[in-house]
Structure 1
Amino acid sequence: MSHLKFNPRTLILLLMILVLTGFRLLVTFNSDELQFANFSSIGAVALFGGAYFKDNLKAFSFPLLSLFLSDFVLSTTIFSKYSSGFLYDGWYWVYGAFALMVLVGRLMLKNVNVVNLLASTLVIVLIHWIVTDFPIWYGNPVYVQNLAGFWLVLEKAIPFEIRFLEGTIVYGSILFGAFEILKAKYPVLKLQTQKI
């Protein structure tokens, strides 16, 4: 006989991730195509998953799954012209960066507070900036294949990274703040000694 127990903490964490991922779709569908490019919840979701899921499988799979589901919807609808049949060119770089962002949440947010959240947000913006812009530069004949060429790509990405920073701060404040309030109000959501 199975001894499966209902874990409200896992359910609440997952629901919060799905709601914020839904905001990514809602904002994108209800704005000019690239007006809010990179102002999304994905950075906050990565940090949130890394910080609160103590089980590695859940910490990485739930945020990555939310990214995939929203990417799939976007790449088959309003961003279909950027799609390469499955998702979009270079998607694996984005997912690699996203996995690194979850890792940052796991390492830097063992103790969730404002300072750690801001520091981890800056780290993931740097990760996003470098990792996702590398394939735009590497092997691209438009840019010289040296440090100056890569720096030019990074300079062009600054407005997008500023929006990524803003989105991560706004959505991160919502996610982390809401869960901390819920934990204070409902002690059952606090981490037990066993992993979830």
Structure 2
Amino acid sequence: MTKMVLSSRFLVLTGLILLAACTRALPLYIPHIWNFTAVGALAIFAGAQFQNKTLAFLVPLMAMAVSDIFLGNGFNMAVYIGFIVMVACGIAIRGKVSPTSIALSSIAGAIFFFLITNFAFLYPWYPHNMGGVIQSYVMGLPFLRNMIIADAIYGTILFGGFYLLEKGFPKLALVRA
């Protein structure tokens, strides 16, 4: 019986993460705001909801990798490291998910992602000195703002939607001993 509960939960969580990952393709079809996707929210959500830590990291990373293939994005190690840190922020709130913990985890995750991916030495167009680092962070601030706003909206949809699914389908809820 427990295996069936976990299997249903796994399938629903994975499906939600895959749907959220599809928001990365929005620029191909409709104009959108840069960094306004569900990527950060899905990382926090996966970390908080998958009980198996390996799956918490693996499922969203695979969703990112598959979407990168379809979008023709090259592999950027900094983006994946930032994404891994965001999953870890979700793991940090596992078992104590609340609107406040989700918000704090999302903001912390977005800031870590910003700091990692905007480090000037990663990009050849910024000078590789302290001025270049500062310039990179200043130029990245609008992207950070967009990511925080998107994480708030998509996080509400993911966490709120899954909460409602758990209420409507109790088999999806975790069995706590």
Q: Given the two structures, how large is their TM-score scaled by the length of structure 1?
A: 0.81
**Within 2, Cα distance between the matches of 1:21 and 1:139?**
25
| Structure 2 equivalent of residue 154 of structure 1 | 137
**Within 2, Cα distance between the matches of 1:186 and 1:44?**
23
Matches within 5 A, 1:41-120: 41-75=38-72, 87-88=74-75, 91-120=76-105
1:19 aligns with 2:19: yes
Residue 123 of structure 1: which of 103, 108, 112 is its match? Answer: 108
| Structure 2 equivalent of residue 79 of structure 1 | none
Tell me which moved more, 183-192 or 124-133: 183-192
| Structure 2 equivalent of residue 78 of structure 1 | none
Any gaps of 5 or more consecutive residues in structure 2? Answer: none
RMSD: 2.1
Structure number with greater Rg is 1
Are 2:36 and 2:150, in contact at CA under 8 Å, matched by a contact in 1?
yes
What is the total number of aligned residue pairs between the two structures? 175
Q: Given the two structures, how large is their TM-score scaled by the length of structure 2?
A: 0.90
Are 1:18 and 1:66, in contact at CA under 8 Å, matched by a contact in 2?
yes
| Structure 2 equivalent of residue 181 of structure 1 | 164
1:190 aligns with 2:173: yes
1:29 aligns with 2:13: no
**Within 2, Cα distance between the matches of 1:139 and 1:172?**
29
1:171 aligns with 2:171: no
Q: Percent identity?
A: 27
**Within 2, Cα distance between the matches of 1:116 and 1:164?**
17
Any gaps of 5 or more consecutive residues in structure 1? Answer: 76-82
Secondary structure at 1:157 match in 2? helix
**Within 1, Cα distance between the matches of 2:43 and 2:34?**
17
Are 1:109 and 1:120, in contact at CA under 8 Å, matched by a contact in 2?
no
